Amino acid sequence: MTHHHDDDNGHISRRHALECMIWAGTGVLWTISGGIPVSLNLLGAAQAAEAMATGFTFLQISDSHIGFDKAANPHAIDTLKEAMGKIQALPQKPAFMIHTGDITHLSKPAQFDNAAEIIGGAGFDVHYVPGEHDLIDDGNGKAYLDRYGKGTRGAGWYSFDQNGVHFVALVNVVNLKAGGLGNLGAEQLAWLADDLKALSASTPIVVFAHIPLWAVYPEWGWGTDDAAQALGLLKRFGSVTVLNGHIHQIMQKVEGNVTFHTARSTAFPQPAPGTAASPGPMTVPAGQLRGLLGTSSVTVKQGGQDLAIIDSTLA
């Protein structure tokens, strides 16, 4: 398969971006080498295996929507259990997990409890960020923060380090403005600037948040209004990986040293941008659902800047 050499300015063409999206949908492996993203086909898996042997992996799950019981998947709780079962069966155990939001469908205590039992039951450390579905309790987010807000700032943002990689968890689902998209807000951006200040430019950065931090499809609200300011703060770093959820399908884009990736949901698929009347849950023929749900595994090579993302379905 073609490597992405793109133009001399490091810009990726729209054609290449679309190719990435297609490959991603069929289980592509990504690695970032020296800030230049290179896509590998599955024959390149040996490289990932090598990376796994010397580095660590972490696992992303997203949009579990516990409580969702509509036609697109009447059993969202079962597909989350299946996803966790597959994660537990992985030959190389992930160092930890991240959940990129919409843990629950309606922020109800029983939904949070069920999710915590199923996800927590696997025994991994899990780092969460909220989706908009996690903040619609009567306390406007109290239910989420009571469970996952310990040690976080503001609406639940935080950072941590693992094996030389700096992880930043951002919240872009609060104080949404009429006509707008996802929102980080001035307070969080100021915190981010401060958080990144002391880091050397060679530190690999992984940013995760619920709504994509790039304009996937603003017509459906799939983007974040002030993401450009956050990305501006990340510009000096040689390797930045941005992991999001919200859109229940894999999308990938590479811009300079930044790789953007969205994960599948474990609950229900949503249509590709502009292919349906609305972004609502997509009902597919029986037998196809599990091929559209899944998780993402990210491998970080020790001492290098390489990250490889492998998407797996529940099928």
Partner 1 sequence: MLCIRLPARHMAAILTAFTLTTATCQPLRAADAPMVKIENFAFTPPELRVKPGTTVIFRNDDDIPHQVVANDSSFRSKALDTGDTYEFTFTKAGDFAYFCGLHPHMQGKITVAP
- Contact residues toward partner 1 (CB under 8 A) are 70-72, 105-107, 132-133, 136, 138, 176-181, 218-221, 277-281
C-beta of 176 vs 189, nearer to partner 1: 176
Q: How far is the CB of 215 from partner 1 (least distance, A)?
A: 12
Tokens matching residue 64? 């579990």
Q: How far is the CB of 21 from partner 1 (least distance, A)?
A: 22
Give 210's contacts (C-beta < 8 A, 6+ positions apart).
62, 100, 101, 102, 129, 130, 131, 132, 171, 172, 173, 182, 244, 245, 246
Cα–Cα distances in angstroms (integers) from residue 138 to residues 65, 144, 163, in the given order: 18, 11, 39
Q: How far is the CB of 81 from partner 1 (least distance, A)?
A: 22
Q: How far apart are CA 249 and CA 271, in angstroms?
A: 8
Q: How far apart are CA 20 and CA 38, in angstroms?
A: 10
Q: How far is the CB of 163 from partner 1 (least distance, A)?
A: 36
C-beta of 19 vs 225, nearer to partner 1: 225
* Helices vs strands, H then E, count in the chain: 7, 13
C-beta of 106 vs 233, nearer to partner 1: 106
Q: How far is the CB of 173 from partner 1 (least distance, A)?
A: 8
C-beta of 204 vs 279, nearer to partner 1: 279
C-beta of 93 vs 108, nearer to partner 1: 108
Give 46's contacts (C-beta < 8 A, 6+ positions apart).
none
